Amino acid sequence: MGIYDSLNLEQKKGVETVEGPVLILAGAGSGKTRVLTHRVAHLIHDLGVSPFNIMAITFTNKAAGEMKERIDNLVGMGSEGIWVATFHSSCVRMLRRFADRIGYDTNFAIYDTDDSKALMKEVCKYCNVDTKQYKERTFLNEISSAKNELINEEMYASQNSADFRKEIFIRVYREYQARLRANNAMDFDDLIMKTVELLKYQTDVLKFYQDRFHYIMVDEYQDTNTAQFELVRLLASGRQNLCVVGDDDQSIYKFRGANIYNILNFEKHFPDATVIKLEQNYRSTGNILNAANSVIANNVGRKEKKLWTENDEGDKVHFEMLESAYEEADYIVRDIVRQNRNGKYGFGDSAILYRTNAQSRILEEKFIFEGVPYKIVGGVNFYARKEIKDLLSYMKTVNNSRDDLAVQRIINVPKRGIGQTSISRAMDFAINNDLDLFEALEHTDRIPNLGRASSKIEPFVELIHELRQISANEGVLALINAIIEKTGYVEELKAEKTEEADARIENINELISKVVDYEQNAEEPTLNGFLEDVALVADIDSLDESVPQVVMMTLHAAKGLEFPNVYLSGMEDGLFPSFMSITGDESEIEEERRLCYVGITRAMKRLTMTGAKTRMVRGETHYSSISRFVKEIPNDYLEGNTWEPKPRNYMDAPVDAAPKKSMKGAPLAAQTYKKQSFGTKIAKNDLDYTVGDRVRHMRFGEGEVVDINEGGRDYEVTVEFDTAGRKKMFASFAKLQKL
C-alpha cells in the first residue's frame, strides 16, 4: 500500500498541487497535518526537492514536534534538513544569525511576559506614570498591538502626534524599546517585527532565505497577524510557492492580533492561488458535526464549506440547563464519574471546556470532593513559578549579563543583605554612565554612597564569573547544578520543612530533568539554546496526555485538541456569547460563534452542553437564558432540557404553550416541553423531585432522575442508578426519596 493511498481525493490534490500559491481550507478534523506531512514527502520522494529547501511553520512547539515526528516517519533519512518550527522559533533562528545587521548582539535575551511586566514597571516609574490611572498591562497591550501591525515606536509617535491622550503612550513606548535595546533584549512581539525589519531592509539577507526556501508551508493560517503575514509574504515573494492551511471558521484569536482577513482575502493577495477544501471529517460523529455546521452557518464572514463524515450518526448533543452554577458543576462531575464507573469513558477521555478561567473554581471543588483526578491547562505556567524564574535568571545572567531584569531578580536571591536602596544606586550609576547593571556592579568602588553594600556585591559578581566558566567548559547541566549548590537555594528550602518548600524542590528537580532532556536531544546543546527553548514553551505544551485525568481548559486553549467525551459548560447568553460581544458589533458575535464551533468540534463521540439559570458574578446573583448558540442547533441533533420558561415560575406555564423557537425557526426539543411542564397537573403522588435531582430507591440505591413523562394517571420516571443502571418506573410505586 502506497503512502498516498490513505488520502481522499481532496487531500491528494492538496499534496500534489505544489507550484504557485495554494490555500487549503481544512475543516476541523479533516486531516490537515496528514496533508502537510505527505506534501513534504511528495516534494522529496517524487519531485527530488532537497529537504534543505523546504520550510514548514506552525504556531506551537507541540504542533511543530508532532509534524517533525510524522515527517521523520514518512521521509526517513534527510528529514532533519527540513525547517520545521514555530513563527517565533523561526524568527529567533534568523535573528541569531543576522541580528547584528539591525543593531543587536546575536546573543540577545528573549523577554517573556513576566520580564516585560517587570521592565514596564521600571519604565512607568521613570516616566512618572500614575499607575493608578494607567496600569502597566495597558501599555504592554497597546505596544503589543502596535508591533503586531508592524508599527515601531517612531511610527507610533508619528501616527498619534495629534492625539494628546496618546502622549503618555508615545513616551512609554519609546522608553520601553530603548531599554530593551540597552539590555540587548527582545520581547516576543519584537522577534517577528525585527525579523520583518531585517528582511525588508537587508535585501541580501532576504535573498539568502528566498534562495534557501523554495517551498513554504504555513499551518493554522487563520491565526496569523499582520506581522506574520508580512514575514510569510516576504519569504515567499521570490518563487511564490506558498501553501497555507487553515480554517476561517476556527479563527478565534482576534484578541491576540489575529487577522481573519489574511485567510479570507488570500486570493486577493495571491490572485493565481489554487483553493482546495477539505470537508471530510475523521474525528466526530454525524450528529456532532451537524450541530457544528448548524451553528457556524449563521456567520456571514466566512468561506462556504460544510463538514461531513462517514462515521456513525452517534448520540445527539445533550443539553442541560441547571438551576445554578453549583448544580451545573455537580451535574458534570457526577456524569463524568458515572461514565467512568460504567466503563464508557475514562477520566482521561473527558474534557470540560469553558469560556472563562473563572468557571473552573466550582468545578475544581467538585472534583476534589469526588476524588476525581483532573488537570487545568492554562493555569500557572511551570516556567512562571518563583523558584524556576530565579534559577533561570541566574542562567540568563551567565548567558547575557546585559539583561538587567535577570540581574536585579537574583542579586539578593538567596538573601545577601543587598537592599533595594543599594540596587537603586547601582541602577542610577549604570544609567548615568551608559552601562548595564552588571557592568556597574563590577565597579562598586566607583558607585557613590554604596558603603558596606560593596563588600556584599563583590561575591555575587565573582559567583557569576565563576558560573560563566563552568558553563563554557562543562555545559548546561553542570551550570544549573553549580547554581543550586553555590547559592544554597535548595538547602534553604529544605530548612523550611514545609509542604510548599517540598513542592518547590520538586519543581527544581523537574527543571533539572528538562536540562538533561535538552542536552540529550539537542544537536548542539548550548546555554543560549536552552534558554531559547524554555522561552518559547506554551501552556498547552505541558499537557501530558498519558495521565488519566479529566482535563479542564478554556475554549481558546482547546483548539487543536480532541477528546471522546466533551462538556461545554456555561452555555448562557451573557457568558457565552459574552455580554461584551452581545452589546458590540456583529463581528464580535461571529468571533464567539467560531469559538463555539471550535468547542463543538473537539468532541469525538459524545458532547454535553450545560448552562446555569443563576450564576454568582462579583458576589451578585445573575439570571441567565440559554445561549443563542444552543438555540441555533435544530432539534434533529439536540436532546435534553432545552425548553426555556418565561421569566416566572415555570411550574405555572400552560401545558399547550408553544415551544421556544430557534433563531432559524426550528423548534427546540419539543418533546422535552411536557417533561418540564408536568407540574401543572397534580399526580396522586406529589413529586418533590425533578429531572437532574439525586434520589434513593429502596432496592436500587442512589441514582439520578434523567426523565419524567406523563403517563395518564401517574408519571413514568426514568432513573440512572449508580449501580443498577437505567430503570423506568411509575412514581407512585417507586417511592423515590430526593437526596
d(C-alpha 291, C-alpha 204), whole Å: 52
Q: Which residues contact 343 (CB under 8 A, 6 or more apart)?
A: none
Catalytic entry in 115, 136, 153, 220: 220
Give catalytic status of residue 250 as yes or no.
yes
- Strand intervals (E) in 634-735: 638-640, 694-697, 701-711, 714-721, 725-730
Measured N-to-C along each axis, helices 499-521 and 489-496 cross at an angle, to the nearest 10 degrees, of 150
The angle at the Cα of 333, spanning 328 to 339, to the nearest 5 degrees, equals: 125
Catalytic entry in 219, 442, 591, 644: 219
d(C-alpha 689, C-alpha 718), whole Å: 12
Of the candidates 342, 312, 359, which has an alpha carbon nearest to the alpha carbon of residue 552? 359
> For residue 303, how many C-alpha atoms fall within 13 Å in the half-sphere facing its CB?
24
Give catalytic status of residue 219 as yes or no.
yes
d(C-alpha 531, C-alpha 110), whole Å: 8
How many other C-beta atoms can be found within 10 angstroms of the C-beta atom of residue 427?
18
Of the candidates 393, 410, 369, 437, which has an alpha carbon nearest to the alpha carbon of residue 182? 437
Q: Which residues contact 496 (CB under 8 A, 6 or more apart)?
A: none
d(C-alpha 436, C-alpha 624), whole Å: 55
Do the bridges between strand 374-376 and strand 550-554 make them parallel or antiparallel, or are there none, so unpaired?
A: parallel
**611 touches 571 (CB < 8 A):** yes
Catalytic entry in 334, 602, 605, 628: 602
Of the candidates 481, 475, 464, 485, which has an alpha carbon nearest to the alpha carbon of residue 518? 475
Give catalytic status of residue 562 as yes or no.
no
Give catalytic status of residue 33 as yes or no.
yes
- The 8-class DSSP code of residue 316 comes to P
Catalytic entry in 10, 11, 32, 632: 32
Q: Is the bond preceding residue 548 a cis peptide, omega within 30 degrees?
A: no
Catalytic entry in 226, 250, 359, 601: 250
Give catalytic status of residue 602 as yes or no.
yes
CA 461 to chain centre: 39
Strands of the sheet with 215-218, listed across from one edge: 83-86, 54-58, 215-218, 242-246, 22-26, 274-278
Scanning the structure block, which residue is given the C-alpha cell 542562567? 395
Q: Which residues contact 570 (CB under 8 A, 6 or more apart)?
A: 328, 354, 355, 356, 359, 576, 610, 611, 612, 615
CA 419 to chain centre: 39
What region does 449 belong to: left with phi over 0, alpha with psi -120 to 50, or beta? left
**80 touches 71 (CB < 8 A):** no
Give catalytic status of residue 86 as yes or no.
no
CA distances from 660 to 167, 632, 637 (A): 53, 12, 16
Reduced to 3 states (helix: H, G, I; strand: E, B; else coil), residue 248 is helix
Residues labelled catalytic: 32-33, 219-220, 250, 602
